[in-house]
Structure 1
Amino acid sequence: MSETAATRAPATAVPRARQIVGEPHAGWRSAIYRVMFESETRAGQVFDIALVIAIISSVLVVFADSVPALHERWGTAFEMAEWFFTLLFTAEYVLRFVCLRHPMRYAKSFFGVIDLIAILPTYIALLVPGIHVLIDVRVLRLLRIFRIFKLTAYISEYQALAMALAASSRKIFVFLSVVILIVVVMGSLMYVIEGPEHGFTSIPLSIYWAVTTMTTVGYGDLAPQSGLGRLLTTFMMLVGWGTLAVPTGIVTTEIALHHRSASGGLGGVLPGIGPAHRTCPSCGEPHHVESAQFCHKCGASMADMAGQETTISQ
Structure 2
Amino acid sequence: MKKHIDKSLSFREKEFKLRPWQLKIQEVIYGTYTRPGKIFDILLLIIILLSIVVVMLESVTYLNVKYHLSFITIEWIVTGLFTIEYILRIVSLRKPFSYIFSFMGLVDLFSLLPSYLSLFIDGATSLMLLRSIRFLRVFRILRLSRYMIGADVLGDALKNSRHKIAVFLISMLTIVIILGGLMYVIEPKEAGFTSIPRSIYWAIITITTVGYGDIAPVTPLGQALASFIMLFGYAIIAVPTGIVSSEFTSLKSHGIKSFECPNCGEEGHEKSAQFCKSCGYDFNN
Task: Mark yes or no: TM-score above 0.5.
Answer: yes
What is the aligned partner in structure 2 of residue 299 from structure 1? Answer: 267
Please say if 1:251 is aligned against 2:244: yes
* C-alpha distance in 2 between matches for 1:96 and 1:209: 50
Change (3 A) 1:302 1:111: closer
Question: Contact 2:165–2:240 (CA<8 Å) still a contact in 1?
Answer: yes
5+ unaligned residues in a row in structure 2: which ranges?
A: 261-265, 273-285
Please say if 1:137 is aligned against 2:105: no
Please say if 1:50 is aligned against 2:43: yes
Please say if 1:39 is aligned against 2:38: no
* C-alpha distance in 2 between matches for 1:302 and 1:188: 46
* C-alpha distance in 2 between matches for 1:231 and 1:24: 75
68, 90, 93: which one aligns with 1:100: 93
Counterpart AA for 1:299: E
* C-alpha distance in 1 between matches for 2:43 and 2:218: 57
Please say if 1:91 is aligned against 2:84: yes
Change (3 A) 1:301 1:126: closer
For each residue in 1:155-186, what CA deviation from the matched residue of structure 2 results, as whole angstroms up to 9, or x when unmatched?
xx333222222222222111112111111111
Change (3 A) 1:301 1:139: closer
* C-alpha distance in 1 between matches for 2:198 and 2:58: 37
Counterpart AA for 1:43: P
Amino-acid identity (%): 42
Tell which has more relative contact order, 1 or 2 (C-alpha 8 A, sep 6+). Answer: 2
5+ unaligned residues in a row in structure 1: which ranges?
A: 1-7, 13-17, 263-287, 305-314
Question: Contact 1:48–1:147 (CA<8 Å) still a contact in 2?
Answer: no
* C-alpha distance in 1 between matches for 2:268 and 2:251: 18
Question: Contact 1:35–1:47 (CA<8 Å) still a contact in 2?
Answer: yes
Please say if 1:27 is aligned against 2:26: no
* C-alpha distance in 1 between matches for 2:181 and 2:103: 41
Question: Where has structure 1 moved over 3 Å in runs of 4 or more?
Answer: 22-26, 300-304
Q: How does 1:1-314 map to 2 (within 5 A)?
A: 25-130=18-123, 132-133=130-131, 134-149=133-148, 154=149, 157-262=150-255, 292-294=257-259, 299=267, 303=271
* C-alpha distance in 1 between matches for 2:99 and 2:141: 19
Change (3 A) 1:301 1:136: closer
What is the aligned partner in structure 1 of residue 275 from structure 2? Answer: none
Structure-1-length-normalised TM-score: 0.73
* C-alpha distance in 2 between matches for 1:302 and 1:203: 46
* C-alpha distance in 1 between matches for 2:207 and 2:31: 46
* C-alpha distance in 2 between matches for 1:172 and 1:301: 25
For each residue in 1:25-72, what CA deviation from the matched residue of structure 2 results, as whole angstroms up to 9, or x when unmatched?
342112212222232333323322221211110111111122122122
Question: Contact 1:24–1:99 (CA<8 Å) still a contact in 2?
Answer: no
CA displacement at 1:23 relative to structure 2:
6.7
* C-alpha distance in 2 between matches for 1:32 and 1:137: 29
* C-alpha distance in 1 between matches for 2:236 and 2:17: 51
For each residue in 1:263-301, what CA deviation from the matched residue of structure 2 results, as whole angstroms up to 9, or x when unmatched?
xxxxxxxxxxxxxxxxxxxxxxxxx6xxx2337xx8266
Over aligned residue pairs, what C-alpha RMSD do you find? 2.7
Change (3 A) 1:160 1:117: closer
